[in-house]
Structure 1
Amino acid sequence: MADKFEENTMLDEHMNEAFDWSDSAMPVRDALWDHYMQQNAKDTIKTEEDMKKYLDMSDADVKAEAEKLLKK
Structure 2
Amino acid sequence: MAETAEEKVEERERVLDTPMDKEFDWAKKDDTTPVRDALWDHYMEADGRDTMKTEAKMHPYLDMSNDEVAANAEKLLKN
What is the TM-score when the length of structure 1 is the normalising length? 0.90
Q: Give a deviation string over 1:21-71, Cα, whole Å, max 9, x none.
A: 102110000000000000000000000000001000000000000000000
User: In the alignment, which residue of structure 2 is the partner of 1:21?
Assistant: 26
The residue matched to 2:64 in structure 1 has which SS? coil
In structure 2, the gaps of 5 or more residues are none
Superposition deviation, residue 9 in structure 1: 1.4
In structure 1, the gaps of 5 or more residues are none
Fraction of identical pairs, as percent: 54
Q: Judging by fraction of residues, say which structure has more helix.
A: 2
Q: Give a deviation string over 1:2-21, Cα, whole Å, max 9, x none.
A: xx644151100000000001
After TM superposition, the structure 1 = structure 2 runs for residues 45-56 of structure 1, keeping only pairs within 5 Å, are: 45-56=52-63
Instruction: Give the counterpart of 1:12 among 12, 17, 21.
Output: 17
RMSD: 1.1
Letter in 1 for 2:66: D
User: In the alignment, which residue of structure 2 is the partner of 1:60?
Assistant: 67
Aligned residues: 69
Structure 2 CA distance, aligned partners of 1:69 and 1:54?
13
User: In the alignment, which residue of structure 1 is the partner of 2:44?
Assistant: 37
Structure 2 CA distance, aligned partners of 1:9 and 1:22?
17
